[in-house]
Amino acid sequence: MAEKRKDNKGRVLKDGESQRKNGSYEYRYFDIRKKRHSVYARSLAELREKERDIQRDIDDGIDYAAGRITVLELVERYLSQKRPEKHNTAVNYNFVKNLLKKEEFCSRKIYTVKSSDGKAFFLKLHDDGYSFSTIHTIRSVLKPAFELAAEDDAVRRNPFAFALNGVISNDPEKRKALSAEEKKRLLTFLENDECGRKYYDVVVILLGTGLRISELCGLTKADVDFEAGRIQVNKQLLRGRMSGVSRLILETPKSECGVRYIPMLDSAVIEAFYHVIQARRSPKVEHIVGGHSEFLFLDKNGTPKTAVAFEHALSRLMRKYNRLHDDVLNVTPHILRHTFCTELISAGMEISSVSYLMGHSNASTTLGVYTHGRYETAEKAFAGIVERRAFS
């Protein structure tokens, strides 16, 4: 009968256990794929604790070894299986992956990550200055990635299956809408400025329709129906890189609700569209993007303009305005959109109708971010209520 193996303290060692020359312990085992692995510990008690965890996972069919990949490796594996239809989705995936590469948390083995670790990681990102929306984007990758790991039996449960707003508060900054006086100053400046005049009609259209700037860039002649008095919104024009080459990309709007019609009831908006179409020079060759042509806004080379061109132009014009005036105007295409939405809400339009015109998927988006209340508006509305009610 073979003599039982013992450690230097005379304790009998089990199958797979051994004591190393430095006094530490090793346990060798086979995973569910029959691949051999080893774990180490300073004491026999610690080693046997690890053995129990390993055996429990093997009995449950969980691949303990697979859980040894890092968080970043898991994310890369998950993203390699995604085929995003929208360019912006692919950009977001790349952003998340590059951000996670810089985080020490993502070098951890996935089997060691607990729910409390996931919450601590998001709190750390919040303390580093990342917004709720950015952290939400990161979670939208980490949560399904760990769900994949759980389905593959690499981890027992998903450590990111918790509500994000229970960890950090969703307190989006309300973007400031332009007042009537600010709108007047802006339009007067653009109308009287040599460079500003080129963008006057664009600003009027954005203020009068609430279009996203990418949706404005995607408009073609066929989308503007003067007879029916409405604009068709069913696409957005972006510039991105595909196979390392910068090119124009035409996609459906941000959400399914982004496909909509916007009425042209404001004479200023109608006139602005007439000016844009009349001033549009037909290029030698019409660019066709995604099967569409005759885009309304072209650069000097006849190429359809994208958001960056308008954003840079408006930024330059606002810097010029602020140099020449005592007051300060902060205007972006987004702020023009927020102004449109805020004015509709202030005028008493039903929220579902406002959400439709804005292309929002739900009313909470409309109310939560895109409106900006004013004391004057609230005072006027309250005064109307006071007049109609009576106290006994």
Burial 228-248 (b: 16+ CB within 10 A, else e): eebbbbebbbbbeeeeeeeeb
Terminal Cα distance for the chain, rounded = 104
Distance CA 301, CA 281 (A): 10
DSSP secondary structure, 221-240, as one string: GGGEETTTTEEEE--EEEEE
Cβ partners under 8 Å of residue 9, min gap 6: none
Q: What are phi and psi of 333, to 5 degrees?
A: -55, -35
Q: What are phi and psi of 242, to 5 degrees?
A: -130, 120
DSSP 8-state secondary structure symbol assigned to residue 280: P
Closest CA to 250 of 219, 290, 213, 211: 290
Closest CA to 11 of 1, 332, 23, 22: 23
Structure tokens at 65: 């070894």
CB 259 within 8 A of CB 252: yes
Residues designated as active site: 212, 254, 334, 337, 360, 370
Could you tell me how many residues make up the chain?
392
Cβ partners under 8 Å of residue 19, min gap 6: 7, 8, 13, 25, 26
> What is the dihedral sign for C-alpha 96, 102, 107, 113?
negative
To the nearest 10°, the Cα dihedral for 246, 252, 256, 262?
120
Amino acid at 236: Q
